[in-house]
Amino acid sequence: MAILEVNDIHKRFGAAEVLKGISFSLEKGSSLAIIGSSGSGKTTLLRCLNFLEKPDRGRITVQDEVLFDAGDPGTQAEPEIRKKRLNFGLVFQAFHLFPQYTVLKNITLARELLEKERQKTQGTSAPQKEIDADAAALLAQMGLVGKEKAYPHQLSGGQQQRVAIARALALKPKILCFDEPTSALDPELTGEVLQVVRSLANKKTTMVIVTHEMAFARDVADHILFMDEGLIVEEGPPEQVFGNPREERTRQFLARYSSEP
Amino acid sequence: MSNAQTIVSRLVDSFQLNVQLFFLTLLFSLPLGLVIALCAMSRFKPLAIVTKTFVWMIRGTPLMLQVIIIFFAPGLLNFGAPWGSGASARFTAATIAFIINYACYFSEIFRGGIQGVPIGQTEAGQVLGMTRAQIFFKVTLLQVIKRILPAMSNEVITLIKDTSLARIISIKEIIMMAQEYTAQGLIWPLFSTGLFFLVFVGLLTIIFARLEKRLDYFRV
Ligand SMILES: Nc1ncnc2c1ncn2[C@@H]1O[C@H](COP(=O)(O)OP(=O)(O)O)[C@@H](O)[C@H]1O
Ligand SMILES: [Mg+2]
């Protein structure tokens, strides 16, 4: 039973059609890696899933609930979109941590605001103690014990990205999306972030990972999607897409990526 | 009381007008400036264009001219006397002109500050389920304040000095007061007005330096 179903997503910016009909589905507890050249529409696709862009056509379904349907304005009302976003988490290429808050507060801020809202509307909410304990557990999981009180600018890029992952996990999204989580990092720092993502995969976190780390994708993902010019050119299990690609374009892309480290 | 003492105390009294004009202008032009900035950034194009044109006109003409127009125009255009009469009318007109003028300058600073915060900050808030208001107040605002403090410091220092322009509609602010003595052959009162401004600007400089230091714990 698929947790996420994406149907025929189209997105254009002005004259340029960036997504030309993307469909795929994702099983609960599995991880999907999306690969493809720069400009092929990977970021735009993740942004559509997270409601940062509005697709021109298509449908997004999570656990049988239609979150978005371009043909049904009823699914596009502003206040509900905010709630629907919580189905997804997004880890940005450039982290986007909140610079004025400590590591701990970066992780707890959104949860605190949501709990406050829940207290108002439902009369019940998690106590601050629980929020802090959950954040501490996440920090431990990310290998960041002792960094609670640090500010983002005091951390390395790899540490910042791990905080960003913890921040996304703090809201317990059903599906966690990564947009090239290691592309902004110095090469010696990518390992620590990939390690964390790998451990999430081992814990059966449902993930969509856009990445240029081919070895990592092959190793960690259950399923590979190769995108080119707004279309899914090829998809399948890693052994097939990397080991025995069917499409010429996939072969060319992989050849390019294995030749330039 | 000796003559010098009388003069000094009259200078102090008249400087209170400068200070009052300064604080009233700040009090109203800061929030108004924020509103103008938000209008100028509105996605509703006509509003943005009208606002930007207005800001351009205010910033493109002398404050002195604006003070004169605000004071005289209603009477000359037969709108009656909206500012009342006498000294208080002059002060009201000057205050309104200053508020409008400074709100426009502040709006440009705010706009630059708000647009300078990376869009990624807003988007990070959005994907974490925050409302627009929560993102503005909990995420963006402090970063905007940190970014604009140096520019605000300049503008506020200019404001206290600009308050002397109010004399153009016969408001007896400190320099106008001192000039009365110049006419009587006394030059030191005029020089001493400079001290008033220097001390006031010194205080402002200290306050802004402290604020900047307060926000030194993070980087934007
Ligand atoms: N907001 C936007 N406005 C106009 N063009 C955009 C916008 N966002 C992305 N694009 C264009 O869409 C194409 C795909 O971009 P993107 O989704 O970022 O690709 P990828 O992440 O695969 O590199 C690019 O040509 C890019 O220039
Ligand atoms: Mg991208």
Torsion angle in degrees (nearest 10) through CA of B54, B58, B61, B66: 120
pLDDT bucket at B1, cuts 50 / 70 / 90: very low
Q: How far is CA B16 from its chain centroid?
A: 16
Q: Measure A256 CA to nearest chain B CA, in Å.
A: 31
Query: Region A36-54: what's the mean pLDDT?
Result: 97
Domains of chain A: 2-259 (3.40.50.300)
| Mean pLDDT of the region B173-200 | 95
- B8 assigned to some structural domain: yes
Decide if A36 contacts A253 (C-beta within 8 A): yes
| CATH code of B11's domain | 1.10.3720.10
* Total domains present in chain B: 1
Is residue B128 within 8 angstroms of chain A, CB to CB? yes
B114 part of a folded domain: yes
- The Cα B176–Cα B183 span in angstroms is 11
Please report, for residues A221, A228, B2, B36, B191, the alpha-carbon distance to residue A142 in angstroms, rounded to integers and kept in the order given.
Answer: 20, 33, 76, 44, 65
Would residue B104 count as lying in a domain? yes
A82 Cβ under 8 Å from any chain B Cβ: yes
Summarize the confidence of residues B87-97 as an average pLDDT.
95
| Residue of minimum CA distance from atom 3 in ligand 1 | A13
- CA B123, CA B161: separation in Å to the nearest integer? 41
Q: Is the dihedral of CA A205, A208, A211, A214 positive or negative?
A: positive
Q: Is residue B220 part of a domain?
A: no
The mean pLDDT of B129-143, rounded to a whole number, is 96
Question: Strands of A65-69's sheet, edge to edge?
Answer: A16-27, A2-13, A57-62, A65-69
Q: Across all residues in chain B, what is the average pLDDT?
A: 95
What pLDDT does residue A259 have? Answer: 60
pTM: 0.90
pLDDT at B84: 85
In a domain, B155, yes or no: yes
Residue B33 covered by a domain:
yes
- Interface contacts A/B by beta carbons within 8 Å: 62
Ligand 1: residues within 6 Å at CB?
A 13, 18, 36, 38-44
Share of chain A above pLDDT 90, in %: 95
On whether any CB of chain B is under 8 Å from the CB of A153, the answer is yes
Q: Are B193 and B175 in contact (CB under 8 A)?
A: yes
Contact assignment for A113 to B139 by CB distance below 8 Å: no
Residue to test with chain B: of A54, A91, A100, most B Cβ within 10 A: A100
Per DSSP, the three-state class of B124 is helix
Check residue A257 and give its pLDDT: 83
Q: Is the ipTM of this complex over 0.85?
A: yes
| Domain residue limits at B149 | 3-214
Distance A112 CA to ligand 2 centre (A): 30
